[in-house]
């Protein structure tokens, strides 16, 4: 379920714990959770002995954790993945898929109920996108300078896709998922079903600014649902609690008090305010 803000929050937290930690061994409890090398035994063997460095990069929703020796571990949490930092003797979480015990007695755990998430081992000298296919197809980072209204205009020209679907396309911009897409569209006053080709320059500029704004707000609040894995209790992020439209079907809009509606777009639930996000003209 994590989107860019949750993954960025995770990156910053891992930066506190992982650098200098030596991998003492790896236990793959579910082989589907390892993307490369396909053989879990090889994955484990190549991970063992690696020492985490402080080079940790995020691209969209992907995470790259580099080792001192030059190899790296790639991570994608997809819908339900979590990385947990625990003492090795702490009770195992129900859906733990991979255990990575450290020489220090701590342990990095990959927990993932739905088994959509993946870990990859990227060998020294191999470009990460060779191993993690999705990386190569990612669009610009939302905080990159080139991501602006004009970029969107260029990408949207002559296309009919609903704007909500376009935002979920990682090739357009990397890191936006269902929650932040809905929030960004509300913030920019754009109806999620509008075809992208019909949006004028002003609307596209509002959209670009809204995407940046909601993602920055999400990071500032430590993500929507990410639990604080350093805390045995687990602390939920609070963005979802302050959402303007996401998950608020039937509740009054915080701006105009119209009832928030939910429709299905691109196969995903989509929330919007029928008044603030007028299908015809721009609002706000």
Partner DNA sequence: ACTAGGTCCTGGTTGC
Partner DNA sequence: TGCAACCAGGACCTAG
The DSSP bridge pattern shows strands 261-265 and 52-59 to be unpaired
Smaller CB separation from DNA, 115 or 278:
115
2 catalytic per annotation: yes
Q: How far is the CB of 239 from DNA (least distance, A)?
A: 7
Smaller CB separation from DNA, 20 or 133:
133
Alpha carbon 103 to its chain's center: 29
Q: Coil, strand, or helix at residue 201?
A: helix
159 is known to lie in a ligand binding site: yes
130 catalytic per annotation: no
Using CB under 7 A, list all residues that contact DNA. Answer: 1-3, 6, 32, 60-61, 76, 78-79, 94-95, 113-116, 133-134, 137, 159-162, 165, 168, 170, 177-179, 196, 223-226, 237, 240, 266-269
Residue 260 token pair: 């928030």
Smaller CB separation from DNA, 96 or 188:
96
Structural contact between residues 21 and 52, judged by C-beta atoms closer than 8 angstroms: yes
Q: Tell me the C-alpha distance between 41 and 30, whole Å.
A: 12
Active-site residue, from 3, 6, 21, 111? 3
254 closest CA partner among 262, 244, 246, 241: 244
Active-site residue, from 58, 59, 61, 118? 61
Active-site residue, from 209, 249, 254, 268? 268
Please state, as a whole number, how many other Cβ atoms lie within 10 Å of the Cβ of residue 62: 23
95 is known to lie in a ligand binding site: yes
The residue count of the chain comes to 284
222 is known to lie in a ligand binding site: no
140 catalytic per annotation: no
Q: Which residues of 207-235 are buried (b: 16+ CB within 10 A; e: fewer)?
A: bbebbbbbbeebbebbbbbbbbbeeeeee
Q: How far is the CB of 20 from DNA (least distance, A)?
A: 29
Smaller CB separation from DNA, 50 or 270:
270
3 catalytic per annotation: yes
Q: How far is the CB of 68 from DNA (least distance, A)?
A: 28
Residue 157 token pair: 């020209």
Q: Which residue numbers belong to the known binding site for DNA?
A: 95, 114, 159
Q: Which residue numbers belong to the known binding site?
A: 95, 114, 159
Catalytic residues, by residue number, are 2-3, 61, 268
């Amino acid at each position: 379920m994590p989107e860019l803000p949750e993954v960025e929050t995770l990156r910053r937290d891992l930066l506190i714990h992982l650098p200098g930690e030596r991998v003492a061994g790896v236990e793959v409890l579910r082989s589907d959770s390892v993307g490369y090398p396909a053989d879990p035994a090889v994955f484990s063997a190549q991970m063992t002995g690696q020492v985490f460095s402080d080079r940790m990069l995020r691209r969209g929703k992907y995470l790259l954790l580099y080792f001192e020796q030059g190899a790296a571990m790639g991570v994608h949490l997809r819908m339900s993945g979590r990385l947990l930092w625990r003492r090795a003797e702490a009770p195992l979480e129900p859906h733990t898929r991979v255990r990575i015990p450290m020489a220090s007695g701590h342990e990095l755990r990959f927990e993932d109920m739905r088994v959509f998430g993946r870990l990859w081992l990227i060998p020294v000298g191999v470009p990460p996108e060779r191993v993690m296919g999705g990386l190569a197809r990612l669009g610009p980072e939302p905080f990159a300078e080139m991501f602006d209204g004009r970029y969107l205009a260029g990408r949207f020209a002559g296309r009919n896709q609903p704007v909500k679907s376009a935002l979920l396309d990682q090739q357009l911009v990397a890191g936006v998922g269902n929650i932040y897409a809905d929030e960004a569209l509300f913030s920019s006053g754009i109806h999620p079903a509008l075809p992208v080709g019909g949006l004028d320059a002003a609307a596209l500029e509002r959209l670009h600014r809204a995407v940046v704004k909601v993602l920055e707000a999400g990071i500032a609040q430590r993500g929507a649902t990410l639990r604080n894995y350093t805390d045995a209790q687990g602390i939920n992020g609070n963005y979802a609690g302050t959402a303007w439209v996401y998950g608020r079907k039937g509740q009054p809009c915080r701006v105009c008090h119209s009832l928030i509606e939910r429709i299905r777009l691109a196969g995903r639930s989509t929330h919007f305010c029928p008044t603030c996000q007028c299908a015809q003209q721009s609002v706000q």
